[in-house]
A and B are shown apart, each in its own frame.
Chain A
Amino acid sequence: MKQSLFARIREFADSRVALAAGILLLLACAAALLASVISPQNPYDLSQLDIGSGRLPPGSRSGDGILHILGTDDQGRDVLSAIFYGLRVSLVVGVVSTLVAAVFGGIVGLWAAYRGGRVDAVLMRIVDVQLSFPAVLIALMLVAFLGNGLDKVIIAIVLVQWAYYARTVRAAALVEREREYVEAARCLNYSAPRIMLGHILPNCLAPLSVIATVQMAGAIAIEATLSFLGVGLPITEPSLGLLIANGYQFMLSNKYWLSVYPGLCLIALIGAINIVGDRLREMSNPREEG
């Protein structure tokens, strides 16, 4: 069953689409990490901005000779640089909220599966009720009361998404719980946390990683939506969603590039993550045909 990492990557790359999506995702991560190195200008250093070269269409040069491949916004900010920095904020929100939600939801799911009975019933009822509401709506309401800001948005997304992890991990853990190795661990009188975390959890990681990928795309989309609505991130932390929202006011005067390029970038990011997630699911469940 165990495959080397290399073999797994080979298997992943059997699907050309998934391979392309994976490469795109790696490029996006690299662009976000190296944003300050590869950007033509630092879009948030006011001394580098020149209002005089504002709203330049894509491909034009500003007064100081910088080529603005994707144009500039109303303050003379290079759109490409803003996208790199925005990518960074969006990915941070996606990764951090996914990790926190996976850990929190995973623990709840493990606990529900291990204890069973009433604990399980109550927890899963809460999960069911929460999942019957659309994620964006819950996030919106949470942000309405928490206020906006990077930390608040991440908290809201975690509170929205923990339920998916709890349900997935519980389902996997229920199967694992009946296996002999758990029985053996019980006979050795290991403590419940040790059995849950040390023995059951590692065997639930495959479904957990699949759902984490899909949920990360969801987290990025939720953040973008909240920011677009103007209730997500503040202007000091411009994510892709916020860039789209800022550009939106200029769109009606045909300065479409301010919204469209950050938007295309967002769609590509979400799409790539979803395709990678799909491929991971196919690999973990080979019987399912496409």
Chain B
Amino acid sequence: MLRLLVRRAIEGVVVVAATSFVVFLAIYMLGNPIQVLASPDSPPEVIQRVTASLGLDRPWHEQYWRFVVNALHGDLGVSFVHAQPSLALIFGRLPATLELVVFAMIVAVVVGLPLGLVAGYWPRHWSSQAISSLSVLGISVPAFWVGLMLIIFFSLEWRLLPTGGRGATVQVAGIETSLFTLDGLRHLVLPGFTLATLPLAVIVRLVRTGVREQRRADYVRFGRAMGLSPGLLLGRYILRNVMVPVVTVMGLLFGTLVAFAVVTETVFAWPGSGKLIIDSIKQSDRPVVIAYLLFVVVMFMVINTVVDLLTALVDPRVRLQ
């Protein structure tokens, strides 16, 4: 257990260090930012002075070292566009993204689990085949397309829900959230379901495969012979055995969704971290892009490690490997 944790920690540090190095090199080779920062017609001695004061005249390894030291102090530079520390900017937008992700996860589990159970238990039924085909579609269709379709039908055609933006928010435990206002929820539904498409499809497929395997197990055949209803068999016995991989994958999907929110937030003009990053890329706001990249890498490393640890805790067979 401890060895796994130590190995993962070392690996995480290596990956983050490598990412930061590659990113730094990429930016270093893109050219001197002084041309962007200083007005082109300022006299050469001013440019020289600014270059020296920013440390841009130092050799690259010294610049990288300073970048690392600052990063370890939580300083990843100041956004060119917003004139705020880039990390603070990202954390400021994160609650909106997390709200979307949590909503999508809930939808995926609440809808996906029963569908997967049904499709796995009665694989020959036409509805199960339909569920399976739809889940393939859900994995391969780009997220932005799902969002567009939902907007066309629910907002433009039937005028039921808003086309985008975040609704009214209230402060709950110090965090602005739209989960507790009617207007907020109305704005949350379409982007939430758009983001839920991928995890929904993944969970359906996972549960379906799991149930199909379990269905052949002796305990299920015995239960059927005893005359237990399918609902009882599925809900009480099969579900438990299927849940381990589902929980694992849900953990991994969490990180994926935070990243995928980039697309959903762009479609629905949702003011989260994903929208921020797309805007930053378009405006060449490098400090924000770098901060986001490092943040995502660290997030994934932490999530993957936690998921591995949890899996090892829940399933003793994993620990032995």
Q: Which residues from chain A sit less than 8 Å from chain B, CB to CB?
A: 125, 129, 132-134, 136-137, 140-141, 143-145, 217, 221, 224-225, 228-231, 241, 244, 248, 251-252, 254, 256, 259-260, 263, 266-267, 270-271, 274
Contact = CB atoms under 8 A, between A and B. Distances in A.
B30 A230 contact: no
Interface string B91-130: 0000000000000000000000000000000000000000
Nearest to B164: A252
A267 B297 CA distance: 31
A105 B166 CA distance: 42
Contacts of A137: 259-260, 262, 296
Interface residues of B, number: 37
B148 interface: yes
Given A136-B263, A244-B144, A231 B163 contact: no
26 contacts: A125-B11, A132-B252, A132-B300, A133-B296, A133-B297, A140-B281, A143-B281, A145-B289, A221-B140, A224-B142, A225-B142, A225-B144, A228-B144, A228-B266, A229-B262, A229-B263, A229-B266, A241-B142, A251-B152, A256-B156, A263-B148, A267-B145, A270-B142, A271-B140, A274-B136, A274-B140
Given A134-B260, A217-B140, A221-B140, 9 more contacts: A133-B297, A141-B289, A144-B289, A145-B26, A145-B30, A230-B282, A252-B163, A259-B148, A270-B141
**Interface of B (DSSP majority class):** helix
A136 B263 CA distance: 9
B15 A129 contact: yes
A263 B300 CA distance: 31
B23 interface: yes
Mostly, the A contact residues are: helix
B105 to A, nearest CB: 15
A222 to B, nearest CB: 9
Contact of B262 (A140, A248, A263): A140
Contacts of B267: 248
Contacts of A136: 259-260, 262-263
A259 B15 CA distance: 40
B312 interface: no
A134 B253 CA distance: 9
Contacts of B248: none
A267 B141 contact: yes
Contacts of A230: 278, 282
B304 A132 contact: yes
Nearest to B293: A141
Contacts of A267: 141, 145
A254 B156 CA distance: 7
Contacts of A221: 140, 142
A76 to B, nearest CB: 23
Contacts of B190: none
A248 B148 contact: yes
Contacts of A217: 140
Interface string B118-162: 000000000000000000110011111100100110001000000
Contacts of A129: 11, 15
B38 interface: no
B295 to A, nearest CB: 12
Query: Which of B23, B152, B281 has the most A CB atoms < 10 Å from its CB?
Result: B281
Given A134-B259, A145-B27, A225-B143, A231 B296 contact: no
A271 B260 contact: no
Contacts of B141: 267, 270-271
A254 to B, nearest CB: 6
Nearest to B29: A145
